[in-house]
Amino acid sequence: MPAIRVLAIRVLAAALLVPAWPLGGPTSATVWLWPLPPPHSVTRPFEAPASAYAAGHRGVDLSARPGAPVFASANGVVSFSGVVAGRPVLSISHAGDLVSSVEPVLGVVVEGDRVVAGQLVGRLASGGHCADACLHLGVRLHGQYVSPMLLLGGIPRAVLLPLSP
């Protein structure tokens, strides 16, 4: 199979894993801030599950060390700060029915606090699901997990071109 055809198939397959925004969802003008200082290294990407209960990776893992500052990616209200399955988790509700969650994060904010994009909201704790230390960032739109890279500007818009005759 020619290399260009293999590349085209891979690009199409990757595009199918990214859910389309429902009407009223974020626009191309919606860009969030990274929750960690640079450099931004994604150690594990978002992997959409086949169904609500199927295996997948419902967020991205970002390389970081315990104690690293964690910032709000967008304006919002802290909707949860506590422990889930033995890990400290911080969730923020944002405009447009978006919710971001970061873990393992020891929050310096509490439920009900209003936060602004770039505000310190906690420090990276140890533990979590990464072999090495990392920050897990998950995003839900209308209750469904979507790739945080859509909001961080890490996924270019797909453009389909006609095949030449």
Over residues 68-110, the pLDDT tens digits come to 999 999 999 999 999 999 999 999 999 999 999 999 999 999 9
Q: Is 9 part of any domain?
A: no
Q: For 139-147, what is the mean pLDDT?
A: 95
Q: Is 37 part of any domain?
A: yes
Token reading at 47: 């992997």
pLDDT at 14: 42
Q: Is 161 part of any domain?
A: no
Q: Is 38 part of any domain?
A: yes
The domain containing residue 31 runs over which residues? 22-152
Q: Is 115 part of any domain?
A: yes
pLDDT at 30: 62
| Residues 6 or more apart whose Cβ sits within 8 Å of residue 101 | 59, 80, 89, 90, 91, 92, 136, 137, 138, 139, 140
45 has pLDDT over 60: yes
56 has pLDDT over 70: yes
Q: Taking Cα atoms as reference points, which of 27, 38, 100, 101 lies closest to residue 69? A: 38
Q: Is 163 part of any domain?
A: no
Domain count, the chain: 1
pTM of the model: 0.76
The CATH number of the domain holding residue 53 is 2.70.70.10
pLDDT at 155: 66
Q: Is 109 part of any domain?
A: yes
135 has pLDDT over 70: yes
> Rounded to an integer, what distance in angstroms lies between the CA atom of residue 89 and that of residue 83?
6
